[in-house]
Structure 1
Amino acid sequence: MLKSALTTRLCHLDFFFYLTMSLANLASMAALLGATAASPAFYPHELTERAGISLWPAQSFVTADFHPPTFVVTKNGEELEQGLIFITPALENVGNSLSSLGSLQATGTTIVTDDGQLVWQGPHSSVVEVEASTDQVFNITTNLMVQELDGEPILTHWIGYGSDTGRGYGSVAVYNTSYSQIYTVCPELDIVYNNASFPSAPTCFVDLHESFVTPSGSMIISVANITSFDLSPINGPTEGWVYDSQFYEVDIKTNEILFRWSSVESGIPITYTKLKLGEGTAGNGTRDSPFDWFHVNAISSAGDGYLVNSRHCWTTWMLDNSGTIQWKIEGNNTEGLSNFTLPTDGLFGAFNPLENGNTFMGWGSIAKLKKFGPNGNNDVRLAMQFGGKDLVQSYRAYRQSWNATPIANPTAVGRNSTAWMSWNGATDHTAWNIYAGTVKTDLSLVGTVQRDNMFEVSYPLPSDAQFLQVAAYRESTWLRNSSVVTVGPFSHPVDVGDEGDECDA
């Protein structure tokens, strides 16, 4: 969980960092970021990726149609505290790169171990064709993380329409430790958006940048609203249009709106933007191409107030509980606190201080993750990478504790005298018992295999086995059975029912 309310997050092309403990940490954090970002490692498959053969080497399984990345993992031998890695692998250019990837099952909500072994894969991306739009629009998932609600761990992620211009309209899914979706954050909002950008009208309007659960159990969400605005102070039209970056604090369980803040209504002048009208994806200030002058990256609660960060103003503001600005940290060093500016190549993706004094970092558009010890940038305890620069990314990345027992049962496949087994999302099972026989109601234990932190394991079956069932164990404690399936040359399991009680040993 968060160790301090002073939390600033600027992610993906956003430069994500935490102010944890005190503003003095800015100096050491800047040194760490500067040192590690200067010479990013190249992935061994860089050349084949650039040739369009493959965006990333992918894992594949018999028991599930998942294709998460194959990670290149380096460790220095120092002991790592328990924890899992939460990412949302995605393509930098979904439409142009989909044929190279081969399966969108490789994208989306993903939990892996420090060895790059899959733990859970949830909702994934899909391309949406929109004839009237020049944007590439796609259903995406992002910002997967563990948070806390009512004293219990929850898993949250954003899902909805996204585009290449860095905005989204969707909702936030909230899961318990059995991966049951217990809430959907989708407040009723009066939002103006570009109709031509989406195949159908969005039903939820939460932006992809923020889904922060506060200590009081509410959620802070970001929203992008199109509104008219005088752009003459920046040499634009008097009757111009902008994206008004807003944030709302909402009740997770009821979607009641508790607080609203608007960048346009805040009194921050339009001249504060560091972006030029019509530059890149900034927009030219028309109704069809609003100027993205503020671009909220991250918001969090801070005491009874809020911290809000703007990517295009290079500034973080502290607000009181009425939304009034109290102070700011600015990117041009006007207050002597920092000298950060927009990372134009998007190298920075996550700065995640851990409770033992270590730090976990992700690089956003470079699919690279590192865990540093307390001795700074030369103390790299763990390094992981799964793709090349400008090709793939994980919008945000976290290393957190998570213990889960899925509501869904384990999956078993019997194929060519081999039993294959997995349990998507389970974190605590250590071994499998394998039961087989010629009659589905009379199966016998034929072996036990250790999980060894693998997503999927296999075990040889007797040559006459016709039916198969597996049981997951934590040491000697039975957890759950799979269904009974037939054994044969099938590409998918044929379920013949009878989950039953604990299999007889």
Structure 2
Amino acid sequence: MKWYTAGSALLLSLQAAAWDYSTYSSMGFQPPKLEVNKTGTTDPGYIFLGPRGGVQTAGSAALIYDDAGNLVYEGPEEVTANFKVQKLDGEDVITFWAGDMMDVGYGYGSVHILDNTYKEIYTVTLTGAFVTPDNSQKDSYCDLHESEITPSGTIICTAYNVTQHDLTSINGTSSSYMLDSQFHEIDIKTNQVLYSWSALDHEDQIPLTTSHQGLGKDVGTQQSDPYDAYHINAIAPTNHGYMISLRHMWSGYYLAQNGSVMWTVDGEDGGDFKQINNPRFSWQHDIRVYNETDSGLIVNLFNNANTPTDQESETTGLSMAIDLTKKTVTGLRSLTDPNDPIHSVSQGSYQLLDEVDSHVFMGYGSISKVKEFDGDGNVVFSAQFGDDNAVASYRGFRCQWAATPFWNPSVVVSKTDSNITVYMSWNGATEYDNWVVYSASDNTTSSTNTKIGSADRAGFETSVTVSIPTEEYIQVVAQQGDNVLGTSEFVTF
């Protein structure tokens, strides 16, 4: 067994960011520019990111981009994670965690659920007798790592609780401080906790001695510096319970409904299974289950294979078949870009986009890149949104999404001696394709508006330059063809 005193799973050695950020006249956003290299046919959908880090704070938000690198949506400035589209009551919603991220690699916050007008329809919180490193109380103890909506309309959230525990088995003390890795299944509409699981409740099946995270000098001696033996970072609902990922154990655990471990797949030695075709992994994230039957299942995960202090091998996207009858785990796919070897020390995601064409979208966590692979393992899309090891996004997704915001389009007018330039945008809108610009003599009616310009949509912000009109008010309309979808307020120039 290897023991490491690796840094936390989310820490970054932040460097001064030299990356370019976009600016707009109609909105005060400054998102990082998405540098795109599209080399093949991609699956449909937008790019969902939650960048943070570096010296640029204005772009720390939930962000949606299109495949050309244009911004589509920017949420409020805040630290976000796990930003994606999910299904709730048969409808598409977007979900993301927002809150305070701790230095030791987890967080305290809430999960926000928005409809296709960006109205927040539910806010998921977790309360209870949780202990924090500094004894502070939080409005919600949901951790950033997981916020998975289940088919039954509940949501699964991770949580970390500081606990005093006997660590003499790993050369600690009988009253050391450590993090208990937990998850909670919560009713979205009532915030009632329906199910809870604690790793420490199952120490007999998940011994602390099997952790690859070394107990560093003085770690665990104070409440402010608890030992993280497990580091839970993913939970997937299954036919008989849950599949969880414990990064510091290099293992996935299949749990029964009563919380006991039914079986373990270990990245080092296979756990309960014989390894075939090199399904090895370490320091993993984002474990997911597909095609589950009583005799087997497919498990996909993001294989970091690195920590801030240890480099095992190149980071990969790993798919493996588990045969419960033959007790084997077989490597199916190991996705890497031969032209861009990546060593992601923390975070990351593996998203199977379509089980038919087998496209996979990967977010590289601590490395500010995302890539899409086709069914043959070829890279068909790559994008970067910051300097290496300076900007991170906990996960990255490609999601199909259609939205018409509840807010109006934005418009700003700039005047010169002979012309005005009208800058137009509609944050988050996906369905409009053209703009029409009108002038008016007052700001109380649109019936007497005069059309003075028009333009096809041009990325996030579109501009039109026209001669100075005789009427002093300007209004813009976002359309799909000739169908009006949104109308701005009147502005003067």
TM-score (norm 1): 0.78
- Residue 288 of structure 1 corresponds to 224
- Residue 114 of structure 1 corresponds to 67
- Residue 315 of structure 2 corresponds to none
- Residue 17 of structure 1 corresponds to none
* 8 Å contact kept, 1:352–1:359: yes
- Residue 303 of structure 2 corresponds to none
Out of 71, 77, 97, the position equivalent to 1:124 is 77
Question: Percent of counterpart pairs with the same letter?
Answer: 36
**Is 1:459–2:459 an aligned residue pair?**
no
**Is 1:420–2:423 an aligned residue pair?**
yes
- Residue 485 of structure 2 corresponds to 479
* 8 Å contact kept, 2:134–2:223: no
- Residue 432 of structure 2 corresponds to 429
**Is 1:74–2:27 an aligned residue pair?**
no
Measure how far apart 1:283 and its partner are. Answer: 3.3
SS of 1:106 mapped into structure 2: coil
Measure how far apart 1:248 and its partner are. Answer: 0.5
Measure how far apart 1:285 and its partner are. Answer: 4.0
Measure how far apart 1:143 and its partner are. Answer: 1.1
Out of 445, 456, 470, the position equivalent to 2:476 is 470
Greater strand share, 1 or 2? 2
Measure how far apart 1:190 and its partner are. Answer: 1.4
One-letter amino acid of the counterpart of residue 363, structure 2? G
Out of 169, 185, 209, the position equivalent to 1:233 is 169
Could you tell me how far apart the structure 2 residues matched to 1:384 and 1:110 are?
Answer: 14
Could you tell me how far apart the structure 2 residues matched to 1:239 and 1:439 are?
Answer: 73
- Residue 490 of structure 1 corresponds to none
1:93-492 alignment to 2 at 5 Å? 97-98=54-55, 101=56, 104-125=57-78, 140-195=79-134, 201-267=137-203, 268-278=206-216, 283-334=219-270, 335-337=273-275, 338-342=279-283, 343-345=306-308, 346-347=344-345, 349-355=348-354, 356-376=357-377, 379-416=378-415, 417-440=420-443, 441=445, 442-452=448-458, 454-464=459-469, 465-487=471-493
- Residue 32 of structure 1 corresponds to none
Q: Deviations over 1:149-174 (max 9, x none)?
A: 00001100001111232111111011
Q: Deviations over 1:48-86 (max 9, x none)?
A: x96x4x44201100111111111221122x333321000
Could you tell me how far apart the structure 1 residues matched to 2:143 and 2:63 are?
Answer: 20
- Tell me which of the two structures has the higher relative contact order, counting C-alpha pairs closer than 8 angstroms and 6 or more residues apart: 1
Q: Deviations over 1:200-226 (max 9, x none)?
A: 631100011110101111000001011
1:9-88 alignment to 2 at 5 Å? 13=9, 52=16, 54-76=17-39, 78-88=40-50
Could you tell me how far apart the structure 2 residues matched to 1:262 and 1:201 are?
Answer: 20
Higher mean displacement: 110-119 or 351-360: 351-360
SS of 1:271 mapped into structure 2: helix
Q: Deviations over 1:413-437 (max 9, x none)?
A: 1112111110000011011111014
* 8 Å contact kept, 2:235–2:242: yes
Could you tell me how far apart the structure 2 residues matched to 1:81 and 1:162 are?
Answer: 32
Could you tell me how far apart the structure 1 residues matched to 2:90 and 2:442 are?
Answer: 47
RMSD over aligned CA atoms reads 1.9
Could you tell me how far apart the structure 1 residues matched to 2:472 and 2:23 are?
Answer: 25
SS of 1:381 mapped into structure 2: strand
Q: Deviations over 1:435-491 (max 9, x none)?
A: 014443442111221114x1110001331352110111111211110011112xxxx
Could you tell me how far apart the structure 2 residues matched to 1:285 and 1:303 are?
Answer: 41
Could you tell me how far apart the structure 2 residues matched to 1:275 and 1:195 are?
Answer: 23
Could you tell me how far apart the structure 2 residues matched to 1:294 and 1:353 are?
Answer: 26
Q: Deviations over 1:317-355 (max 9, x none)?
A: 000111111011112124334321122253562211111
One-letter amino acid of the counterpart of residue 49, structure 2? I
User: Which structure 1 segments of 5+ residues have no match?
Assistant: 1-11, 15-48, 92-96, 126-139, 488-505
Could you tell me how far apart the structure 1 residues matched to 2:223 and 2:361 are?
Answer: 41
Q: May I ask how many residue pairs the two structures share in their alignment? A: 408
SS of 2:58 mapped into structure 1: helix
SS of 1:179 mapped into structure 2: coil
* 8 Å contact kept, 1:225–1:244: yes
One-letter amino acid of the counterpart of residue 472, structure 1? A
Q: Deviations over 1:358-404 (max 9, x none)?
A: 1111211111111112221xx22111112222111111000010001
Measure how far apart 1:194 and its partner are. Answer: 1.8
Could you tell me how far apart the structure 2 residues matched to 1:79 and 1:226 are?
Answer: 47
Higher mean displacement: 349-358 or 225-234: 349-358
Measure how far apart 1:13 and its partner are. Answer: 4.6
Could you tell me how far apart the structure 1 residues matched to 2:41 and 2:69 are?
Answer: 16
Could you tell me how far apart the structure 1 residues matched to 2:69 and 2:9 are?
Answer: 24
Measure how far apart 1:181 and its partner are. Answer: 0.4
* 8 Å contact kept, 1:13–1:349: no
TM-score (norm 2): 0.79
- Residue 314 of structure 2 corresponds to none
Measure how far apart 1:304 and its partner are. Answer: 3.5
* 8 Å contact kept, 1:13–1:364: no
**1:449–1:224 CA distance, 2 compared to 1 (3 A):** same
- Residue 40 of structure 1 corresponds to none
One-letter amino acid of the counterpart of residue 123, structure 2? T
